[in-house]
Amino acid sequence: METRSGMQDPRVQYPAPPFPRQPQPAPGLVGKMVPVPDHGESSYRGSGRLEGRKALVTGGDSGIGRAAAIAFAREGADVAIAYLPEEEADARDVIALILAEGRRGVALPGDIRDETWCHELVDMAVTALGGLDILVVNAGRQQFRETLEDLSSEDFDRTMKTNLYALYWITRAAVPYLAPGASVITTASIQAYRPSEILLDYATTKAGIVAYTKALAKQLIKKGVRANVVAPGPVWTALQPSGGQPEEKVEEFGKDSDFGRPAQPVELAPVYVLLASEEASFINGEVYGVTGGKGIG
Ligand code: NAD
Ligand code: MG
């Protein structure tokens, strides 16, 4: 709904529940979602804020990572995206959008639960881009389990490896390449502060990401490199209908935010752009909530 001067009422700017049931296997694919999420494909407009920068975004094929990748390219950055081989179709769409901006786009399929791959993907990004200025560690695993008994050691291990070990491995590999002015951004969640009972392992990793990034920020600023966290609330991404939530919760996803709807991935993009840019020169070790009103306090 447009008001005067083309302003939008944010409550009705994007789709609200009820959403149709749409189970799909993990990792989900964007094209199977109804409605298809807005990652900024036709809505994000850049203004040269990251001209000439070189960025690596894990989980850049879909969801929040895709929105960041598109925005970075529109702001003038070359972008490498890491993702799982099963997500090739989503990745190809993102690479095409990056190339359409006249930027370099680099595709890095592989499983970040493997330490060797984490090192390789960073090296490949650096080689293909000719350096690294912006690192977004955003890939994540979220699979709900109703009770502690349902949460297997294998589940727990997969979530820890994807969300925490890979963060450690990827930052460890990337830090030697980061020069003063570079920026590291991690994606945590409101779950770090308000954990759901069915996301015990996931919420634990998200709290870990906050602590890890804050500690890392203290180390990196000594090299002139900043590190910050984004903590989203409900965002309409493939993570949710592919086992992130029970289907009945997907149907009403985002309903209890102050907006009565979930965020679209593109609504997160401006925060990643800010934290990546030189305009964030005094912002370090911070957590940016984009929760839809619930807050991270
Ligand atoms: P998404 O499914 O679109 O993105 C997650 C990506 O993680 C996948 O696309 C996949 O490429 C990557 N990934 C997962 N396991 C991997 C593995 N083993 N190896 C390599 N890549 C792997 O969903 P999203 O919601 O955009 O998720 C991005 C981040 O946002 C995640 O860290 C998630 O926890 C966080 N987050 C999401 C929400 C939400 O409501 N959607 C809320 C808070 C935080
Ligand atoms: Mg994906």
Ordered by start, the domain boundaries in the chain are 46-290
Helices of type H across 101-177: 115-129, 153-160, 166-174
pLDDT in tens, the chain (297 residues): 556 788 999 999 999 999 999 999 999 999 999 999 999 999 999 999 999 999 999 999 999 999 999 999 999 999 999 999 999 999 999 999 999 999 999 999 999 999 999 999 999 999 999 999 999 999 999 999 999 999 999 999 999 999 999 999 999 999 999 999 999 999 999 999 999 999 999 999 999 999 999 999 999 999 999 999 999 999 999 999 999 999 999 999 999 999 999 999 999 999 999 999 999 999 999 999 999 999 998
pLDDT at 194: 97
Positive or negative, the CA dihedral 93, 206, 241, 269 is negative
How many other C-beta atoms are found inside a 10 Å radius of the C-beta of residue 221?
14
Catalytic positions, written as ranges = 202
Quote the ligand 1 centre to 7 CA distance (angstroms). Answer: 31
- For the question of whether the overall pTM of this predicted structure is more than 0.95, the answer is yes
Q: Which CATH architecture has domain 46-290?
A: 3-Layer(aba) Sandwich (3.40)
Q: Which of 29, 62, 111, 191 to mutate to test the pocket of ligand 1 (most atoms within 8 A of CB)?
A: 62
Backbone phi and psi for residue 103, each to the nearest 5 degrees, phi listed first: -110, 160
CA atoms within 13 A on the CB side of 38: 14
Residue 253 to residue 169: CA distance in whole angstroms: 33
Protein residues with CB under 6 Å of any ligand 1 atom = 27-28, 59, 61-65, 83-84, 87, 111-113, 138-142, 162, 187, 189, 232, 234-235, 237-240
- What residues flank ion ligand 2 with Cβ within 5 A? 27, 61-62, 87
Residues 121, 110 contacting (CB under 8 angstroms):
yes
Closest ligand relative to 59 C-alpha: 1
Predicted local confidence at residue 297, as pLDDT: 81
